[in-house]
Structure 1
Amino acid sequence: MAADDQPEHPVYKLAALDQEFILGDSMRGARFMMEYAKAEEFLRRERVRTTLVAFGSARIREDGNPWQARTYAAARTFGRIASERGGALCEDGQWRDNVIATGGGPGIMEAANRGARDAGAVTIGFNIQLPHEQAPNPYITSQLSFQFHYFAMRKMHLAMRARALVIFPGGFGTMDELFELLTLSQTGKGHHMPVVLYDRDFWTRIINFEALADAGVISPDDLKLFEFADDPEEAWESLLRLGLEVPPKP
């Protein structure tokens, strides 16, 4: 290769401007770090100190069957209640607490983000790249609507600021997040996190938690890591009873 051709060769590009290099296998660790750093920077910029995470199915619709419509409405109401009472509303320059955070998609995630918007609060969406079902819902605060490639980093951001968790009915993804965060509490690897499962009939029909304890694969005390609730007010009261910290009103 002639010396004059060197500036045209991909090797000569600045590493930070070389997209092919950045997206290559050797830079996977760097991309992982960048996904952490970008979300962290914008969360701090918006003064988000703690979050209250709401999980649930992307397939539950406001215009679905009566059970779906009730569940959607409950998630929306809960998002409003938590935002009004939890510390997400604050004066300029103050840190925000218990900001509603979701996986960013439709269904229950949309409903919870929508409820926060009803209260006039900022609200977070941690979206993930998926071939279907996942697009940011319109109720997420624009500067807090994130997109992740790596599930692990998305989960880390969902967990690291969370001070409570409300799990509405959902499928594999919802259960994945539920059991991961319960495991963090069970093992002491994470901070104390009140957990409420919304819709007792759904959850006790889908998962026999008592059978796990009876089989000896979890401790009976592990059943105290969460409570059930059947309306939004009950869910909020359960979180407070389980130790959710709410900043005093100014």
Structure 2
Amino acid sequence: MAEKEKKHDKIKHAFKDKNWSEIKSEDSWAIFKVIAEFVEGFDKLAKIGPCVSIFGSARTKPDHPYYKMAEDIASKLVEHGYGVITGGGPGIMEAGNRGANKLGGKSVGLNIKLPFEQFDNIYIDPDKLINFDYFFVRKVMFVRYSQGFIVMPGGMGTLDELFEALTLIQTEKIGKFPIVLVGKAYWAGLIDWLRKVVFEKENNVSEKDFDLISIVDTAEDAVAVIEDFYSKYLLSPNF
């Protein structure tokens, strides 16, 4: 009984400044803020044309090889007629916007307000920077307006974005867009676990799901996956 009372006191303490009715009321008003973020995102991104999202760590420094590779990938994408969408922050995101900006391509930033790490970088087109409070709204913008996904090494946020895209493609909620993992050594452990445990041992995915992913080691190969995909499927009547 004493343990239950302690637990009850902890719950009461957690909500001491607000009662349940106030929390529910705040949730109701939050709907309008969510709608506003969707409207701004749709309005700004609806006319950007073909773009590729580049995901990756905010902690990657400008002198890191992955930063330079992301910048190179973005520049090459622009050369092939694509714009670049990133999460708008530092690290790999900055590298992607920098590479696109360097060649005068479309450079989009979907920034998220966080208590650490995240701030919008200077290489985003001013009219293509959007700031979000809600991760789920931001992810909708990524998948709705991207024709492909380049995934550089990153942490929890990068993994979240990767599996969001994979899940939506797997369940046919969006089109079958190419997903490119850059850095074979970095991603090898994850893919090995997915194949040996998730697929072979537990049968929680299908073998064909692995066809959704390409793994490369160079900027040239990353862009080639995107280009090969569209040269093969873009004119197909079933695409």
Shorter-chain TM-score above 0.5 = yes
Equivalent residue for 2:33, pick from 25, 31, 34:
31
Offset, 1:204: 0.6
Offset, 1:238: 1.4
SS in 1 for 2:177: coil
Matched, 1:60 2:55: no
Contact 2:58 2:90 in 1 (8 A): yes
> Aligned letter for 2:45?
L
Matched, 1:156 2:140: yes
Contact 1:76 1:113 in 2 (8 A): yes
Offset, 1:27: 1.9
Contact 1:194 1:243 in 2 (8 A): no
Aligned-residue sequence identity (percent) comes to: 34
Offset, 1:50: 3.0
Matched, 1:227 2:214: yes
SS in 2 for 1:52: strand
> Aligned letter for 2:199?
A
Offset, 1:246: 8.0
Matched, 1:77 2:61: no
Offset, 1:118: 1.1
> Aligned letter for 2:180?
V
Contact 1:127 1:146 in 2 (8 A): yes
Aligned to 1:218: 205
SS in 2 for 1:243: helix
SS in 2 for 1:133: coil
Matched, 1:198 2:200: no
Aligned to 1:16: none
Contact 2:34 2:134 in 1 (8 A): yes
Give me the TM-score of the superposition, normalised by structure 2. Answer: 0.82
Q: 1: distance between equivalents of 2:191 and 2:210?
A: 12
SS in 1 for 2:111: strand
Contact 2:51 2:84 in 1 (8 A): yes
SS in 2 for 1:60: coil
Equivalent residue for 1:147, pick from 111, 122, 131:
131
Offset, 1:25: 3.8
> For each residue in 1:47-79, what CA deviation from the matched residue of structure 2 results, as whole angstroms up to 9, or x when unmatched?
30332000000111113xxxxx11111000000
> Aligned letter for 1:81?
K
Matched, 1:184 2:130: no
Give me the TM-score of the superposition, normalised by structure 1. Answer: 0.78
Instruction: Decide which structure has greater helix share.
Output: 2
Count residues with an aligned counterpart.
207
Structure 1 gap segments, 5+ residues each = 1-22, 64-68, 88-97
> Aligned letter for 1:39?
G
CA RMSD of aligned residues (A): 1.8
Aligned to 2:3: none
